[in-house]
Amino acid sequence: MAVLASADQLASARAARAAYRSGVSEPTSGIAAGLTQANLIAVPADWAFETLLYAQRNPKPCPVLEVIEAGQVESALAPGSDIRTDIGRYRIWRDGELVSEQNDARDAWEEHPDLVAFLIGCSFTFETGLVDAGIPIRHQELGRNVPMYRTNIDCTPAGRLRGEMVVSMRPIPAGRVADAVQISGRTPAVHGAPVHIGDPASLGIADLARPDFGDAPEVRDGEIPVFWACGVTPQAAIMASKPPFAVTHAPGYMFITDVPDAEYIV
């Protein structure tokens, strides 16, 4: 299916990437609405096979939208982009430890010119469908980052890579939960249907008010916490597996592509 972005959408996406390139840093939920956003993980070439295999074995949290090979920095999903600069906030990891957050990662590519970058689907893609169906997205309404949690669900390991699944949570009115399942289920390439509905404790989440990433949620009466597999999962794998070096986006600060969300609807 080839779905074309509108001129307005493309202008918004390019403006956002240009702003991040020039130093602006902001969570991207709701930015360039209707265009797909992506998670980033970049690793040295000798970790690339295991990273791609980890994604292949864990497609719900790690749906691969694109692989930017060593020596290349432009995403085919966003012509003219530069993966080293066009995200609002990067994280630099050494031996599994987060050592720096910065709005430019050119120094990382200078240090490791063989970095292979993986763009992973993002649940923001199906938020458009939820909003279009009249299902409120609380964190967007509040201008906050989506809350994300580490869970007790182990991903399938691949070589040296292992780690638990990270989920994002949206409170959904009980009467719309089934709709939210069906709408997000239509985008299997970007996390698809929820992995869990309604019981944080059984995911090993002790306190919904204290997410591991992003901002605290606001769950109102009559709302059910709904959990989707999250593209921050590779960062949990970095923490657990300790590759010598990695670059990721900061949770919620995504790479904005030129590809319409509708491209990923089956």
Report how far residue 227's alpha carbon sits from residue 61's, in angstroms, rounded to the nearest whole number. Answer: 11
**Binder among 11, 15, 24, 69 for its own copies (CB under 8 A):** 69
Positions 176 through 195 that interact with its own copies (CB under 8 A): 188
* Interaction between residue 48 and its own copies (CB under 8 A): yes
* Interaction between residue 49 and its own copies (CB under 8 A): yes
- Compare residues 56 and 152 and give the one whose CB is closer to its own copies: 56
User: Measured from the CB of residue 113, what is the shortest distance to its own copies in angstroms?
Assistant: 16
User: Residue 201 class from Cβ within 10 Å (0-12 exposed, 13-18 middle, 19+ buried)?
Assistant: exposed
User: Measured from the CB of residue 141, what is the shortest distance to its own copies in angstroms?
Assistant: 32
User: Measured from the CB of residue 54, what is the shortest distance to its own copies in angstroms?
Assistant: 10
**Binder among 23, 113, 159, 244 for its own copies (CB under 8 A):** 159
DSSP 40-88: EEEE-GGGHHHHHHHHHH-TTT--EEEEE-TT----TTSTT--TTTSSS
Residues sharing a CB contact under 8 Å with residue 100, sequence separation 6 or more, in sequence order: 91, 92
* Interaction between residue 8 and its own copies (CB under 8 A): no
Nearest CA to 40 out of 233, 219, 174, 214 is that of 233
How many amino acids of this chain bind its own copies (CB under 8 A)?
14
- Compare residues 33 and 45 and give the one whose CB is closer to its own copies: 45
* Interaction between residue 33 and its own copies (CB under 8 A): no
3-state secondary structure of 215: coil
Q: Which residue has the tokens 């020039």?
A: 22
**Binder among 1, 2, 7, 266 for its own copies (CB under 8 A):** 266
- Compare residues 223 and 258 and give the one whose CB is closer to its own copies: 258
Token couple for 90: 């990067």
The answer to whether 126 and 183 have CB atoms below 8 angstroms apart is yes
What is the radius of gyration, based on Cα positions, of the chain? 17
- Compare residues 71 and 222 and give the one whose CB is closer to its own copies: 71
* Interaction between residue 79 and its own copies (CB under 8 A): no
Residues that bind its own copies (CB under 8 A): 45, 48-49, 52-53, 56-57, 64, 67, 69, 158-159, 188, 266
